[in-house]
Structure 1
Amino acid sequence: MFRKPSIILLLSAGLFSISAQQTIPFRITKHNNIIVKTLVNKKDSLDLMFQIAMEDASISPERHHKADHIIFDKDDVSNDNTVQIGKMNLNKVRFFNNELTGHEADGKIGTGMFTGKSFKIDYDNNRFEIYDKEPDLNGYQGIMLFHENGQFFINADNVIDGKQQQEAYFLLQSGYSGAILYSNAFAEEKELDKLLKTTSEKTMKNSSGESIVTKQGILPFFKLNNSVLKDVPAGFFTGKHKTQTVSYLGADMLKRFNWIFDADRKKVYIKPSKYFSEPYYKMN
């Protein structure tokens, strides 16, 4: 999904600086992507998509606004940029060039802006909240969070055949507009092509002209801690050529909860948001 995943995974934390508790407003697109308005290097006004699966920032080749004041080196990397979001000023922000992003965005910005802080994704009020101390967790459920190379994974249960819960780890992926996308390994092991009711199928060609088949099915039940969702759209790949190495918990599922991440990134707390029972996003 990213043009330079190997580079992104090697990036260290601490690339942003925040002095105190802050609130950052955002908007949600019809494709479930979070967009924040930014001013980069005091010159470039950019709409950046929040990407929870990365730490740094990037610029898209299909951007809508100019980014003339982000200077990239021969490896398409730009260090030591400033980013202003509302009243918050970030320093030493690293940008990557030519990475695709979500609809209505000029690029992406990741979780580096929250380094060392607890933060909340508040879908009820369309804002991020950043805390110096642990916030009020009343009404929230705690979930173990697995933090690896700047990416977050959680565990959830999937009821596929109506009888048995199948445990799986999901990468939190706010750049994927749908609810769930299963890894190749999980889809094959659980025989999703046979057990899930298929609602759509699409065949694409890769750069070598080989066919890649993706399907959308209906998962009867999805259980995240004590919260249960029914008839959840779930994507998976079939056929000889498959490309999905990890399972995604996508933006459509993320927005159904408010999320509070602890400062150590060892635990995340969730509470159903106002979107919990909304109709599911339809993948094209």
Structure 2
Amino acid sequence: MFKKTSLILLFSTVFFSVQAQQTIPFRLTKHNNIIVKTLVNKKDSLDLMFQIAMEDAAISPEKQRKADHIVFDKDEISENNTVQIGKLTLNNVRFTDNQMAGHEADGKIGTVLFGGKAFKIDYDHNQFIVYDQAPDVKDYQPIVTLYDHEGFYIVADNVIDGDKQQEAYFVLQSGYSGGLLYSNDFAAEKELDKKLKITGEKTLKNSSGKSIITKQGILPFLKVGNSVLKDVSAGFFIGDLKKQTVNYFGADLLRRFNWVFDADRKTAYIKPSKYFSEPYYIIK
């Protein structure tokens, strides 16, 4: 009797652990953007780009598919929408209209996908995993995260000049296809225009004739936790218009790790993915 009861309990425990997580498949584009196939309000089939730096959802003015069943008010806000992804149904999702999204996307969706729970971005298997219990993070390295204004910030060490490390905060930005994008203040203070090897440059002007110059360079080393990335693609702006206020850790770098975020958003756990040593994405 004891053995039989033990087996039942063991089976129940295993069954519960299997049921205690939800898997959400995604597609990774050649531009490093994560695309999730959704059905919104049971009518509109939309490809939404996952944006880790936002909580809710949005529709792009450049959408390729119709979003006729999302009703926006005068402030371009739509409340109380349902979003279905396979067997998962999200209720009370807020959409904003006319926000740009990545390539191949009709809009974007943020961390509402995970309902405030711990979650994993698994680039090795093209899936999110949402956990009801504390996830297994064996073989992962913990790094401190700061969650502020819908963004996850991490600290990384930048080797810009020789072997001197410059610590900086980066917001994780899955909507930016490239590697690093530095803030105007960091770029000016560290004289990136002089100290990085520049590989590309483009000048843009607004309607007032003010110019902004985007430059692409190569950062010799970037250290994230105990992992070191070499010859990292890094962009920054110079010119009259200086609107980049934070450093971005873009999608090309995000894909180089598998990520697990705890439910309180204070810790991330990272492990190199199959993309860790892939060539860097070139911003054109």
TM-score interval for Structure 1 and Structure 2 normalised by the shorter chain: over 0.9
Give percent identity, aligned residues only: 72
- How far the C-alpha of 1:20 sits from its partner, in A, is 5.8
For 1:126 and 1:279, how far apart are their aligned partners in 2?
19
Aligned equivalent of 1:208: 208
Listed one character per residue, the Cα deviations across residues 80-118 of structure 1 (whole Å, up to 9, x for unaligned) are: 000001110000000000000000000000002213210
Structure 2 partner of 1:11: none
Number of the residue aligned with 1:244: 244
1: CA distance, partners of 2:102 / 2:143: 27
Cα distance change on mapping 1:115 and 1:270 into 2, 3 Å: same
Q: Give structure 1 stretches of 5+ with no counterpart.
A: 1-18
Report the structure, 1 or 2, having the larger helix content: 2
Aligned to 2:135: 135
User: One-letter code of the match for 2:100?
Assistant: L
1:175 and 2:159 matched: no
List per-residue Cα deviations over 1:53-72 (Å, max 9, x = no partner). Answer: 00000000100000000000
Computing the radius of gyration over CA atoms, which structure comes out larger, 1 or 2?
Answer: 2
Amino acid at match of 2:79: N
Residue aligning to 1:29 = 29
What is the alpha-carbon distance in structure 1 between the residues aligned to residue 56 and residue 240 of structure 2?
A: 34
What corresponds to 1:112 in structure 2? 112
> For residues 246-261 of structure 1, what are the structure 2 equivalents within 5 Å?
246-261=246-261
Alignment-mate amino acid for residue 63 of structure 1:
K
Measured in 2, the distance between the counterparts of 1:147 and 1:263 equals 11
* Matching of residue 47 in structure 1 with residue 47 in structure 2: yes
Q: Which runs of 4+ in 1 moved over 3 A?
A: none
**Matching residue of 2:122:** 122
> Which residue matches 2:283?
283
Aligned to 1:161: 161
* Residue number in structure 1 paired with 2:4: none
Q: What TM-score do the two structures reach when normalised by structure 2?
A: 0.92
Tell me if the contact between 2:210 and 2:240 (Cα under 8 Å) persists in the aligned partners: no
Q: SS of 1:160's equivalent?
A: strand
Instruction: Determine the C-alpha separation between the residues in 1 that align with 2:240 and 2:40.
Output: 44
Give TM-score, length-normalised by structure 1.
Answer: 0.92
Structure 2 counterpart SS, 1:228: strand
Q: Does 1:230 align with 2:230?
A: yes
Amino acid of the structure 1 residue aligned with 2:173:
Q
CA drift at 1:205: 1.4
How far apart in 1 are the matches of 2:86 and 2:147? Answer: 28
* Aligned-residue offset at 1:133: 1.1
SS in 1 for 2:39: strand
Query: Where does residue 64 of structure 1 map in the other structure?
Result: 64
CA-CA distance at 1:207 after TM superposition: 3.8
Q: Could you say what secondary structure the match of 2:68 adopts?
A: coil
